Chain A
Amino acid sequence: MERSSYPSEIPIFEFPGGIHPKENKQLSNQSPIAKLPLAKELVINLKGQAGNRSIPCVEIGEQVLKGQLIAKSDGIFSSYQHAPTSGKIIAIEKRPIAHTSGLEDFCIVLSADGEEQWVELSPAKDFTTLSRKQILARIFESGIVGLGGASFPSHIKLQREDGIDTLIINAAECEPYISCDDRLLQDNTDEILKGAQIISHLYKDLKIIVGIEDNKPNAIEALKAARTKLEMTFDIAVVATKYPSGGEKQLIQLITGKEVTHGKLPADLGLVMHNVATCFAIYEAIIQGKPITDRVVTLTGKACGKPGNYRVPIGTPIKHLLQSTDTAKSQKLIMGGPMMGFEIQSIDAGIVKATNCIIMADNNELKPEQSSLPCIRCGECMNACPASLLPQQLYWHAKADEFDKTEEYNLFDCIECGACAYVCPSDIPLVQYYRYAKSNIRNNRVEKIKADNARERHEARLERIERVKLEKAEKHRKAAEARRKAAEASGQADAKKAAVAAALARVQAKKEANQKSDHEASNSQQADKTKEPKA
């Protein structure tokens, strides 16, 4: 593929490992971003972002306008969702979602009326008049999430203010096939840069660095031209094309030479990183007042009839995308890139905000299903790992269910980029083993908390039983004492009478003690029930 000869404006560092898969970007990056006909029905996944489900705030049968709020954040960790077009809400129900296991989840189904009628927008021509709080609120209310693929709610990422001095715009787009950021950089350069200015304004002027791979010469030229036009200052960091240079941690390493310390965030290095599409969404949200209703999606693959980049409304079913690009037959549909994406199980699912690419692959385009051979410990995976892990050791221990060992080998530092599996001569699906180990460890942690609670409850119960027993014994002792005293008081005048009286007293005491302890036991049992923690 064509490489830019433009040298980086700042020194570039290295990250270890990495691979050079076939880029296949020219399939889709040749023409400007276009539009496809609107789908009749849009399926908006309420869990279309990282975190929790959004909560619907419309009713079935309700007419909505484009951009109208249809689902709210749960207030903790989720985002707002807006009507991608005008029309009528026809269902809020479980539908197949774009998920690696083909799950169903709650979706709002919108029947489009084709009018594309917007709600009333409140654009802010001059964002500098807005306060930090106002801008963050607007970003939150516009439903903006990281559009690079992770869909982490952006307002959360932008919350922390102290110590941030640099904004890195992630324009690396290192996954093969995907070209939506490349095209957006060429077609909407000014808007992206203004979006970056808004972010920079949030922190009172940040140093801005655009990190981009050298396989996007046109985008680099566009950035240079727009910089002169807008009289902006920022550095273009041109990095060599190597997957996964666009991983957050890897791009930080390339640009700053620093590593994000284990367990810390980029913010701890004074950095905040946003994807170009997120900058564009922020521009639209603040300057035009538009919430996210669509996004640029790369539709590509050798089976795709009209490959290219399209602005696709959120919730557009994949079936509609196949039809409107004249894609008759595709052997395999991948959402995301070939390295980290997943196979689409149902073409009825709608796209979500994280959907940057759909690969409509033909027969021999992607890896065929094949059985793997034993690991020969060649170490290719180690050489490819950008996190300097030992993938082969992780595989070995994950396969043997030795999860504590996988943690010792830093399993959770694996970013699941797939570089190891890409180079493996034995075709071992390594990443699958890491996901397996990770989910087992997470489950075990939950189980452990549950078990700890159960153990605590059990111990409390044993203690209670012991206590009741001791109390009982104490009462017996007291009753016996009383009897002895009574006998002494009667002066042992009539020993026989005294013996009878003592026996009666004993029976009476026993009765009382039994009643009392029963009562106590049932009381404490009830107390237990109310104390029981929610597991």
Chain B
Amino acid sequence: MILSSPFAKKPNSVTAVMLWVIAASLPGLAALIYFFGIGVLINISIASITALATEALILRIRKRPISATLMDGSALLTAWLIGLALPPLLPWWMTILGTSFAIVFAKQVYGGLGNNLFNPAMVAYVLLLISFPVEMTAWIPPAELAGQTLSFADTFSYIFTGTSSQGYDINSIRQGVDGFTMATPLDHVKTELSQGYRTQEIKAHEMMTGLSGIGWQWVNLGFLFGGVILLFRKVAAWQIPAGVLLGILGMSLILNVLNPDAYLSPTFHWFAGATMMGAFFIATDPVTASTTKKGRWLFGLGIGIITVLIRTFGGYPDAIAFAVLLMNMTVPMLDYYTQPRTYGHAKTKGVSNE
């Protein structure tokens, strides 16, 4: 075979990109484990095994090379992100269902890596969220507030049998020291606001301390830290997380200024729920994001704005997954209308042609 130029190659590979993303998620993962126990690790393990097995099966059916494709690391990364996003005590079969659905219907059906329109991890998340809303919002309280500590055996038992090793159901572990069932801060805010409380009163609750509540602020800071590493390594396009955070800032600032009693502050939005993980690890999936510089800004801004709107006015406490999927749909259009101006040309082509 005659090779054509260039003959020089930067040492750079898809696998390395995928592994960097996994590595950069470690600070966030550490925070999740610290506050919410090792359930997340079990989720990641279940998801990883499911993803690799499903991908291998589909590749076999599609008569594509199996080991070489599995080695690209993309299935593992999808599984990893699903594992990070799921509640720590989610029943095992839900994780398997979501992950295999993501690999088959969000990735392989489109033709595998590089061809999918929607972010596979978020497809899994949304599938599970709308199918099993109770389980998917059953986050346990952060360790500091929990009425009882969660042992490894209990975690295992909850995930695989639905009850603790002593036979308690999941609601017992979800109770705080005061005996009330704990929700996530975003969940809590939503419920309280609907009952007519003002944001100031809501924030007085013990779990709402800090930037965005105990535990959650550290999880977000962890993902922010890892995300910044990704940007420095140029693994992720910086315009996307910048757009997401700016979109959240802008939208929440407008609402907050209009009525600070009814709408949360930008800081809270930034560090609550899945914001940082979404901005740096989910939205930056290159396959399903816009590829032009302007397009990436718009893509990120859109996610940020939609997230705040759904969190504020929608039925779900968090909205990163919906926002990402909605913006995924706009990518072909964004790419077309945001072409850069080519050297020696007066205008950008996509716009002037239409």
A: residues with CB less than 8 A from B are 19, 21-22, 100-102, 176, 249, 253, 259-264, 332, 334, 336, 338-343, 345, 359, 361, 366-367, 369, 371, 373-380, 382, 386-390, 392-393, 408-410, 413, 416, 418, 421-427, 429, 431-432, 435
Complexed CA–CA distance, A366 and B114 (Å) = 27
Minimum CB–CB distance from B215 to chain A (whole Å) comes to 33
Known: A340-B5, A423-B12. 5 other contacts (CB 8 A): A262-B343, A338-B5, A367-B9, A409-B349, A425-B14
Complexed CA–CA distance, A21 and B293 (Å) = 24
Minimum CB–CB distance from B239 to chain A (whole Å) comes to 10
Minimum CB–CB distance from B115 to chain A (whole Å) comes to 7
Q: Please, which residue of chain B has its CB at the minimum distance from the CB of A365? A: B7
- Decide if A379 touches B237 in the complex (CB within 8 Å): yes
Minimum CB–CB distance from A416 to chain B (whole Å) comes to 8
Chain A residues with CB under 8 A of B287: 376-377
User: Which one of A19, A369, A377, A425 lies within 8 Å of B1 (CB-CB)?
Assistant: A369
Complexed CA–CA distance, A341 and B13 (Å) = 24
Chain A residues with CB under 8 A of B16: 425
- Decide if B345 touches A262 in the complex (CB within 8 Å): yes
Within 8 A of A (CB), among B309-346: 335, 339-346
User: Which one of B5, B13, B286 lies within 8 Å of A342 (CB-CB)?
Assistant: B5
14 sampled A-B residue pairs with Cβ under 8 A: A21-B10, A264-B344, A338-B6, A367-B3, A367-B6, A367-B7, A371-B68, A376-B114, A377-B287, A387-B342, A388-B340, A410-B345, A422-B6, A423-B12
- Decide if B292 touches A389 in the complex (CB within 8 Å): no
Chain B residues with CB under 8 A of A435: 4
Minimum CB–CB distance from A407 to chain B (whole Å) comes to 10
- Decide if B3 touches A377 in the complex (CB within 8 Å): no
Is B17 interfacial (CB 8 A cutoff)? Answer: yes
Q: Please, which residue of chain A has its CB at the minimum distance from the CB of B69? A: A373
Complexed CA–CA distance, A432 and B8 (Å) = 14
Minimum CB–CB distance from B129 to chain A (whole Å) comes to 26
Complexed CA–CA distance, A338 and B5 (Å) = 7
Q: Pick the 9 closest A-B CB pairs, nearest first.
A: A418-B6, A374-B114, A262-B344, A367-B9, A338-B8, A387-B343, A378-B286, A366-B7, A338-B7
Complexed CA–CA distance, A426 and B335 (Å) = 21
Chain A residues with CB under 8 A of B3: 343, 367, 369, 429
- Decide if B291 touches A382 in the complex (CB within 8 Å): yes
Q: Please, which residue of chain A has its CB at the minimum distance from the CB of B2? A: A343
Minimum CB–CB distance from B277 to chain A (whole Å) comes to 20
Complexed CA–CA distance, A249 and B1 (Å) = 32
Complexed CA–CA distance, A421 and B7 (Å) = 9
Complexed CA–CA distance, A424 and B335 (Å) = 19
Is B254 interfacial (CB 8 A cutoff)? Answer: no
Q: Please, which residue of chain B has its CB at the minimum distance from the CB of A388? A: B340
Is B113 interfacial (CB 8 A cutoff)? Answer: yes
Minimum CB–CB distance from B230 to chain A (whole Å) comes to 12
- Decide if B14 touches A426 in the complex (CB within 8 Å): yes
Q: Please, which residue of chain B has its CB at the minimum distance from the CB of A370? A: B9
Complexed CA–CA distance, A343 and B5 (Å) = 8
Chain A residues with CB under 8 A of B7: 332, 334, 338-339, 341, 343, 359, 361, 366-367
Is B194 interfacial (CB 8 A cutoff)? Answer: no
Minimum CB–CB distance from A338 to chain B (whole Å) comes to 4
Is B112 interfacial (CB 8 A cutoff)? Answer: yes
Chain B residues with CB under 8 A of A260: 344
Q: B8, B286, B291: which has the most chain A beta carbons within 10 Å?
A: B8
Report B173-192 CB contacts with A as 1/0, cut-off 8 Å: 00000000000000000000
Is B289 interfacial (CB 8 A cutoff)? Answer: yes
User: Which one of B17, B293, B340, B344 lies within 8 Å of A378 (CB-CB)?
Assistant: B17
User: Which one of B10, B74, B112, B293 lies within 8 Å of A423 (CB-CB)?
Assistant: B10
A-B contact count (CB 8 A): 150
Chain B residues with CB under 8 A of A424: 12
Report B208-229 CB contacts with A as 1/0, cut-off 8 Å: 0000000000000000000000
- For B, the interface residue count at a CB cutoff of 8 angstroms equals 42
- Decide if B342 touches A376 in the complex (CB within 8 Å): no
Q: Please, which residue of chain B has its CB at the minimum distance from the CB of A423? A: B10
Complexed CA–CA distance, A452 and B227 (Å) = 58
Minimum CB–CB distance from B331 to chain A (whole Å) comes to 9
Chain A residues with CB under 8 A of B135: none
- Decide if A409 touches B339 in the complex (CB within 8 Å): yes
Q: Please, which residue of chain A has its CB at the minimum distance from the CB of B336? A: A393
- Decide if A427 touches B9 in the complex (CB within 8 Å): yes
Q: A260, A359, A369, A409: which has the most chain B beta carbons within 10 Å?
A: A409
Chain B residues with CB under 8 A of A409: 339, 349
Q: Please, which residue of chain B has its CB at the minimum distance from the CB of A429? A: B4
Given A373-B14, A377-B287, A393-B291: A422 and B343 within 8 A (CB)? Answer: no
Is B72 interfacial (CB 8 A cutoff)? Answer: yes
User: Which one of B2, B17, B339, B341 lies within 8 Å of A425 (CB-CB)?
Assistant: B17
Minimum CB–CB distance from A175 to chain B (whole Å) comes to 9
Complexed CA–CA distance, A345 and B10 (Å) = 25
Minimum CB–CB distance from B121 to chain A (whole Å) comes to 15
Chain B residues with CB under 8 A of A416: 5
Q: Please, which residue of chain B has its CB at the minimum distance from the CB of A392? A: B291
Chain A residues with CB under 8 A of B195: none
Minimum CB–CB distance from B235 to chain A (whole Å) comes to 8
Is B353 interfacial (CB 8 A cutoff)? Answer: yes
Q: Please, which residue of chain B has its CB at the minimum distance from the CB of A387? A: B343
Chain B residues with CB under 8 A of A375: 114
Complexed CA–CA distance, A425 and B12 (Å) = 5
- Decide if A425 touches B4 in the complex (CB within 8 Å): no
User: Which one of B10, B13, B112 lies within 8 Å of A422 (CB-CB)?
Assistant: B10
Chain B residues with CB under 8 A of A22: 8
Given A338-B8, A410-B342: A345 and B2 within 8 A (CB)? Answer: yes
Chain A residues with CB under 8 A of B342: 262, 387-389, 410, 413
Complexed CA–CA distance, A129 and B335 (Å) = 60
User: Which one of A334, A342, A376, A389 lies within 8 Å of B17 (CB-CB)?
Assistant: A376
Given A390-B340, A413-B343: A376 and B2 within 8 A (CB)? Answer: no
User: Which one of B12, B115, B234, B344 lies within 8 Å of A374 (CB-CB)?
Assistant: B115
Complexed CA–CA distance, A50 and B293 (Å) = 37
- Decide if A410 touches B8 in the complex (CB within 8 Å): no
Minimum CB–CB distance from A143 to chain B (whole Å) comes to 27
Complexed CA–CA distance, A19 and B4 (Å) = 19
Complexed CA–CA distance, A431 and B10 (Å) = 15
Chain A residues with CB under 8 A of B2: 100-102, 343, 345
Complexed CA–CA distance, A189 and B9 (Å) = 34
- Decide if B113 touches A339 in the complex (CB within 8 Å): no
Minimum CB–CB distance from B75 to chain A (whole Å) comes to 13
- Decide if A374 touches B5 in the complex (CB within 8 Å): no
Q: Please, which residue of chain A has its CB at the minimum distance from the CB of B331? A: A377
- Decide if B6 touches A340 in the complex (CB within 8 Å): yes
Chain A residues with CB under 8 A of B9: 367, 421-422, 427
Minimum CB–CB distance from A360 to chain B (whole Å) comes to 13
- Decide if A410 touches B4 in the complex (CB within 8 Å): no
User: Which one of A361, A393, A413, A429 lies within 8 Å of B344 (CB-CB)?
Assistant: A413
Chain B residues with CB under 8 A of A176: 8
Complexed CA–CA distance, A336 and B4 (Å) = 12
Given A425-B12, A425-B13: A418 and B5 within 8 A (CB)? Answer: yes
Q: B7, B10, B342, B345: which has the most chain A beta carbons within 10 Å?
A: B7
Complexed CA–CA distance, A339 and B4 (Å) = 9
- Decide if B72 touches A339 in the complex (CB within 8 Å): no
Q: A100, A102, A388, A427: which has the most chain B beta carbons within 10 Å?
A: A388
Complexed CA–CA distance, A264 and B344 (Å) = 9
- Decide if A380 touches B113 in the complex (CB within 8 Å): no
- Decide if B292 touches A382 in the complex (CB within 8 Å): yes
- Decide if A431 touches B5 in the complex (CB within 8 Å): yes
Chain A residues with CB under 8 A of B1: 369
